[in-house]
Amino acid sequence: MTDVDDVISADTFEGRQELQSRAVLSAKEVLREVGAVLRMSETDAALLSEVDTVAAEDQTMIINMGPQHPSTHGVLRLMLELQGETVLRCKPIVGYLHTGMEKTGESLTFMQGGTNVTRMDYASPLNNELVFSMATEKLLGIDAEIPERAVWMRMLLSELNRMSSHLLFMASNGMDIGAVSMMLYGWREREEVLRFFQKVTGLRMNHNFIRPGGVAADLPAGWRDDVLGILDMLPARLAEYDILMSGQPIWRERLQGVGVITRQEAIALSATGPILRSTGVAWDLRRDMPYLHYDEVDFDVIVGSYGDAYDRYAIRLAEIRESMKIVRQILDRIPSGDYRIQNKKVTPPPRARIDESMEALIHHFKIFTEGFKVPEGEVYVAIESPRGEIGCYIASDGSATPYRLHVRAPSFANIQTLPHMMRGGLVADAVAVISSVDPVLGEVDR
């Protein structure tokens, strides 16, 4: 064998993590990769495997898509088995962004934990902080004592974050489908929201602003005008999106009927958020298992009827409008008062007290170096993030750090729907399907 042959036939195969030839796989695994979800009758299963054996190995090709493909949202890697341009099998391969955040979380105190979880879903950091704070508060037993202003502030930030995340989706979805100008518009509008976050929290992303016990600071002067500015600016811009995309024949052709999933399949695959709602299941934790004060505001849960990529696009666009509706109600109802709980256990003393009181200085030092102890127990709290149900499971052994911190990442469950949505579609539609799932690999890999 020559050197060239060696290079060509070099063994790049990494093993069973990857998509393998059908010959070495069990029937169950093949079915999983062709996207079979529900239990099928023997005949259906036989039919499916028959179709696939006809496509003999020499007619099909296994290709890699990603992890560096620009449309795979970070470092998602898909291995696709193609016959011509038709996708027969698909396997998402993840882990390229894995940095052991759950392990890191075990050595950070509950005080510091927010800095860790906020980096998981980097497109909606405030929702991550919110679910972590709510889980910690539930363990501490102070979840009912959070001041009203803090609760409404949390809702305000959560909804604005949902808007910025969906605007980012509008941008990336447009870019993936080929409406590249959409990318600029989406980022432009998102930037307005991030500018507000910067004013409130000091940072555009990864805020660590929502903390156990409340929020880190009160809203800055002039915040109401800033929010109103966003609310007044957006409707006209969203109307432009409708002109540019929603009603446009090319856009519809590209998305309608692509990546279809049914209600039963979405539920079986633990898909939540816009994917589940696109199949017609009106399930939104904000309405169906209310937290904060979502039961006191008026908004609609948007559902689709076809479960395709267009529905998921339209749902997200409509959810921006629903969030704006909620934000307006929050502006009317947000009370004045304390922005964090006055409980010396979890709340550091005010800055001014530190200058005049030795005890306050010690208290401040202790709470930031040692944190606060959380009673033994375990708790699972879930909220509706822009991508679906984000849950936080904390097991505490009574110390100041979580014994086990687990985040139920919506994208992690949602990308399991990819093999199903891809099957039988064209490889060009694969990009549209990935985009419509809107995965954030930071929370997939954690």
Partner 1 sequence: MSSTQTPVPSVLHGSPLVESAGQSVLFVDKDRYFAVLTSLANDGFEMCVDLTAVDFLTHPGRILPTGIAVERFEIVVNLLSLRNHERLRLRVQISESDATIDSAFDIYPGTEAMEREVYDMFGIVFRNHPDLTRILMPEDWDGHPLRKDYAQGRIPVQFKGAAS
Output the smallest distance, CB 258 to partner 1, in A. 22
Query: Which C-beta is closer to partner 1: that of 227 or that of 390?
Result: 390
Which amino acid, one-letter code, is at 403?
A: Y
Give the DSSP H/E element, type plus range, for residue 210: strand 210-211
Query: Which C-beta is closer to partner 1: that of 408 or that of 423?
Result: 408
Output the smallest distance, CB 112 to partner 1, in A. 15
Query: Which C-beta is closer to partner 1: that of 40 or that of 228?
Result: 40
**Phi, psi at residue 405, to the nearest 5°?**
-120, 120
For the chain, the maximum distance between any two Cα atoms, rounded to a whole number of angstroms, is 82
Please say whether the beta carbons of 261 and 279 come within 8 A.
Answer: yes
Q: What share of the chain is helix, strand, coil (3-state, %, to 5)?
A: 50, 10, 35
Q: Is 137 exposed, middle or buried (0-12, 13-18, 19+ CB in 10 A)?
A: buried
Query: Which C-beta is closer to partner 1: that of 274 or that of 391?
Result: 391
Output the smallest distance, CB 179 to partner 1, in A. 31
Dihedral sign (CA 376, 380, 383, 385): positive
Please say whether the beta carbons of 312 and 345 come within 8 A.
Answer: no
Output the smallest distance, CB 421 to partner 1, in A. 14
Output the smallest distance, CB 438 to partner 1, in A. 17
Query: Which C-beta is closer to partner 1: that of 348 or that of 439?
Result: 439
- Which runs of E-coded beta strand occur in 9-75? 60-65
Residues near partner 1 (CB under 8 A) are 14-17, 26, 28-29, 31-32, 37-39, 94-95, 98, 100, 102-104, 106-107, 138-139, 141, 267-272, 281, 283, 288-289, 376-380, 382, 389, 391, 393, 395, 397, 403-404, 406, 408, 412-413, 415-416, 445-446
Query: Which C-beta is closer to partner 1: that of 66 or that of 391?
Result: 391
Question: Which residues, other chains included, contact 90 with Cβ-Cβ below 8 Å and sequence gap of 6+?
Answer: 19, 33, 35, 78, 79, 80, 81, 418, 419, 422, 423, 430
Query: Which C-beta is closer to partner 1: that of 202 or that of 375?
Result: 375
Output the smallest distance, CB 216 to partner 1, in A. 25
User: Under the phi-then-psi rule, with left for phi > 0, alpha for psi from -120 to 50, and beta for the rest, what region is 149?
Assistant: alpha
Output the smallest distance, CB 393 to partner 1, in A. 6
